[in-house]
A and B are shown apart, each in its own frame.
Chain A
Amino acid sequence: MASRLSAARAVRQLTSSATRRPSAFVCQRWQQRPQIVERRLFSVSAAIREKKYTEDHEWIELSEDGTTGTIGISTYAAKALGDVVYVELPQVDMDVVAGDTIGAVESVKSASDILSPISGVVAEVNSVLEEKPQALNKDPEGESWIAKVKVEEGVQTVLESLMDKKAYEEFTKEE
């Protein structure tokens, strides 16, 4: 397991510094951003649209037209966290880079980061979680999604590197 974790995690550890928190510290990046995918990607295949999981226990699912990715935390993660008392959501229009913190969950005196598996711009957040944080325990992989991110070109490569449901289940058994 250790070898599987190593590279991707090392990168995330380095990129997910506290200053990338969603609120208040959104810096305007001066670099030219890759093009946001505005129209349907003809290359979006069924395999890519399948729900994928990260080793950090987030899930991501592409919209039918392939332009938006819905991000949430896995049922396994929600169980491990215990009773959620607060969900910190990102701000709409925030720029994210894969591995960035896009939110945080507090449960039983613990703050845990939610990382974005992909790069893009936050298009929508699930405000229900602000009112009812405990909903995250009930339906983490359905109604209690965290954010929708407008994806960039190259998202396929990222998604291909993530685990499908079966691989993720294997992975959580090992943990």
Chain B
Amino acid sequence: MAPSRGHFRRATFRSIFPKPIVQSILYNRRTLSSASFSQELANPARKVQSYISTSRDPYLNLSIEDYILRASPADSTVLFLYVNRPCVVIGRNQNPWSEVNLGILCSKKQSTSAAFGHVDLVRRRSGGGAVFHDEGNLNWSITCPRSQFTRDTHAEMVVRALRKLGIDRARVNERHDIVLDQGPRQESVDPVDTHRTSYTVQDGPRPLKVSGSAYKLTSARALHHATTLLSSPNLPLIPQYLRSPAKNAIQAKGVESVSSPVSNIGLDVQHFQVRLQEEFAIVHSSSEQRLVVQELGEEHLSIPAIRKGYDELRTNDWMWSQTPQFTLSLQPYLDLEISIRHGIIQKLEGTAKMVEEWRSALLGHKLQDVRSWSAFLQNRLDPWTNECAVLANYLEVHLPVPELFES
């Protein structure tokens, strides 16, 4: 368990492929053609596979990942690492209006409020809550047979990799996430125990979350993917993106995020990436041969299944209409409640004066088709009263529909 930090300091990082320290992995910089990637991935003889993406596109990386889940041999274990450009990623069954501050994602406002360019909005296929990604965050995903799957196994492996780099406060918590304990150092604990550290305390400073997990299960396969906050320069901005002004006004079915205080681990992304690839090779690859790490990227968008998944993730239907049923209350401004199912306004209830007129203007409309509520309502309502303006402003703030990505 001796930390190998010293060795890494001597390593030089010329490209995204730093030199492996332990001789358990081998980088293959030659890009596989789409046809050979498909073939290699599905090859039943390849029980352990390791890939890394050169793309920063969250839609592409999630689609490659989904392709790995569906096309890899049923008894194989596959590691896939990727880093996304700044984006907010919500869980499959979440409500973007209540989980994300969509107002600051509207592109015009973005350039002034954020230290970086456009922040993409993505709905992933796995469960769980909303997270923020940027270049200081390494995403790891492991696909394995469903029969071998537990929610902790892979997180435990990642904790071992972190501890080998000297991060001795890291452990897996009861939510299957990775946290850094913040208590004072106490007696030594069993170093093999990945669920407890010398800094674990019952009462005291709250552990800081550094990695969040989510899963996608198919009949034979299980995908576990997670973020790893290593060195995000945007840490102070994260809460601003994940705090919605509509949170209290929306009653949503589906899955609410559990917000946790987060921290950077304080490691270089490439540094940790190699350590993790090595740990994976040590755990899963029994042969004497080194495990080849294969590069994937934009060129693999030509694989039809990846293209299909990519296009689907970028549709407004997947982002907005997939939202579980919810209601928006306009109290205390107006006695009105709007009910939305499959992204379509289904019901308006309340005693507001113009509720009948509003019904005929709004019922049956898809939220994703409205880019400006004021313009939309002004075109449909006559006379335009103060109450109409209140409604329009409220919808502007609570139900905005920003562009998902920069076109």
Contact = CB atoms under 8 A, between A and B. Distances in A.
Interface of A: 2, 5-6, 9, 12-14, 16-19, 21, 23-25, 55-57, 85-86, 88, 91, 104, 106-113, 115, 130-131, 175
25 contacts: A2-B75, A6-B74, A12-B219, A14-B70, A16-B218, A18-B312, A23-B342, A25-B312, A25-B317, A57-B219, A85-B254, A86-B253, A86-B254, A106-B92, A108-B215, A109-B91, A109-B176, A109-B215, A110-B126, A110-B215, A111-B92, A111-B125, A112-B218, A130-B324, A175-B147
A107 B91 CA distance: 12
Contacts of B318: 24-25
B8 to A, nearest CB: 32
B317 A56 contact: no
Interface string B200-221: 0000000000000111111110
A interface: dominant SS: mixed
Given A5-B220, A19-B312, A86-B93, 16 more contacts: A9-B220, A23-B321, A85-B93, A85-B254, A91-B342, A106-B91, A108-B127, A108-B176, A108-B215, A109-B126, A109-B129, A109-B214, A110-B214, A110-B216, A113-B217, A113-B219
A91 to B, nearest CB: 8
Contacts of B70: 13-14, 16-17
Contacts of B75: 2
A112 B317 contact: no
B61 to A, nearest CB: 15
A9 B74 contact: yes
Contacts of B214: 109-110
B364 to A, nearest CB: 16
Interface of B: 66, 70-71, 74-75, 91-93, 125-129, 147, 151, 175-176, 213-220, 253-255, 305, 308-309, 312, 315, 317-318, 321-322, 324-325, 342
Contacts of B255: 85-86, 106
Residue of A21, A86, A107 with highest tally of chain B CB at under 10 A: A86
Contacts of A88: 93, 324
Contact of B219 (A14, A107, A115): A115
Contacts of A57: 219
A12 to B, nearest CB: 6
Contacts of B312: 18-19, 25
A14 B342 CA distance: 27
Given A19-B308, A24-B318, A111 B215 contact: yes
A88 B255 CA distance: 12
A17 B308 contact: yes
A171 B278 CA distance: 36
A104 B92 contact: yes
Nearest to B126: A111
A130 B325 contact: yes
A2 B217 CA distance: 18
B128 A13 contact: no
Contacts of B217: 110-113
B126 A24 contact: no
Contact of A109 (B71, B213, B308, B309): B213
A112 to B, nearest CB: 4
Nearest to A57: B219
A38 to B, nearest CB: 29
Given A18-B66, A18-B312, A13 B220 contact: yes
Nearest to B321: A24
B215 A9 contact: no
B218 A130 contact: no
Contacts of B151: 108-110
B147 A24 contact: no
